[in-house]
Chain A
Amino acid sequence: MNVFIEHLRVLRATLLRLLLTPNATLLNVLIIGIALSLPVGGYVLLKSVQSLTGQLAGTPQVSVFIKIGTGAGEVARIGDKLKQHAKIERTEFVPREAAFKKLQQSTELSEVIGDLAQNPLPDAYIVYPKATDAIAMESLRDELKTWPNLDHVQLDSAWVHRLEAILGFGRLAVVILAALLSFALIAITFNTIRLQILTRRDEIEVAKLIGATDAFIRRPFLYFGLTQGLFGGMAAWVIVSGSVLLLNHNLTDLASVYTGEFSLQSLSAADSVALLGFSAYLGWLGAWFSVSQHLWQIEPR
């Protein structure tokens, strides 16, 4: 009595059965693969865009520009007032000379800026609020606007919130797509197993007559569903990874025109394992539904 060897035997028989009908197997695996690659592809796209916003935005902040010509004492007083504000986590002072130098160094505008006789930039504070949701930040901005000697208060990350909202929408769409196509996968497996049970009716009947347990009869079908789902997951992985590779090749050219850095991320190891595990599980589930639906109907007479 060796349970492990029995499972190995069933696995081997299952693989042989898949190879015995290569066309049907290939078709099923492709259908599952394509169905799964849609939500997985959407996930990859979302994740890439999300990491892009992470790069650009960092933590949300408010820039406070002080009127040009304000005295150093007044600037320091404003700094203290900001620091003591209940809604502000911390502040960072950017003196106008430092900002000017940085601007000269960092952009292609340096030639134009170099010609300027005097520094056009104001002193500024970068304010990191305690609450970073859109409503809290907007109310903070409105409050600071009323302070004297401030030229301009700018919410640096308002667009990030908007993008977040769009991404949230995208995520929901991917989840709905994934749920629907998971049902499709279960249905495909359900039907495949149903046909198999019908064609192996004699075998099931004889096995029951000579003392097979329900678990023994169920096992090859569950393995079949599991294996087919796993292969479908592998197909989806190949489809998505191949597409990412192909698209990235073209994206590099496109992104370089806009002096940007953007590429689609390929599936991480954890994502790949999750994809394969999930597709195998769905295959198993479809087989299980099918078996519990159809097997009890076959009783020897």
Chain B
Amino acid sequence: MYIYSVIHALQRLGVNPILTDNPEELQKADKVLFPGQGEASNAMRYLREHGLDKVITELKNPILGICIGQQLMCRHSEEGDTECLGIFDADVLRFKPQRHEDKVPHMGWNQLEGPTSELFKGFGEGEFVYFVHSYYVPVCENTIATTQYIIPFSAALHKDNFYATQFHPEKSGSVGERIIKNFLEL
């Protein structure tokens, strides 16, 4: 379960996170991590039912969306034809295989190209990170790193205090650890 993986990753860095859906705790936190799990329309329904859609979009502290967390921070997702949070000005699409070798989900270690932003402080080209996903965010003005799979897509996004990665830094070995550390040091 990715949420526990994120907690473990933080604990390995000496941080003890609070697992919460309480708006006040989220607003007071130094940093917020928003790892996703499951399917987009169910996840959005959960956020709306708990009033968290509004809370998240209005957060002023740094927040890092991971995997479906990144997708939910976009405008709309093709998964379940879901209206999302609209933080990033992009729509989430499903991978369409072009050749037989193009398997969906995109699963495994792939490379970051053109990493910019403080999230990738100290990064060169081509670092490997771990992905598991069937939907992607196209390259847009918020893109801070791309990855090539079938087409180039947004491996990470940034706008104001909102950060997001399509890959799983918590499962990406020492490279992922550096990304989480960079986020914690923002």
Q: Is B one of A's binding partners?
A: no
B interface residues with partner A (beta carbon < 8 Å): none
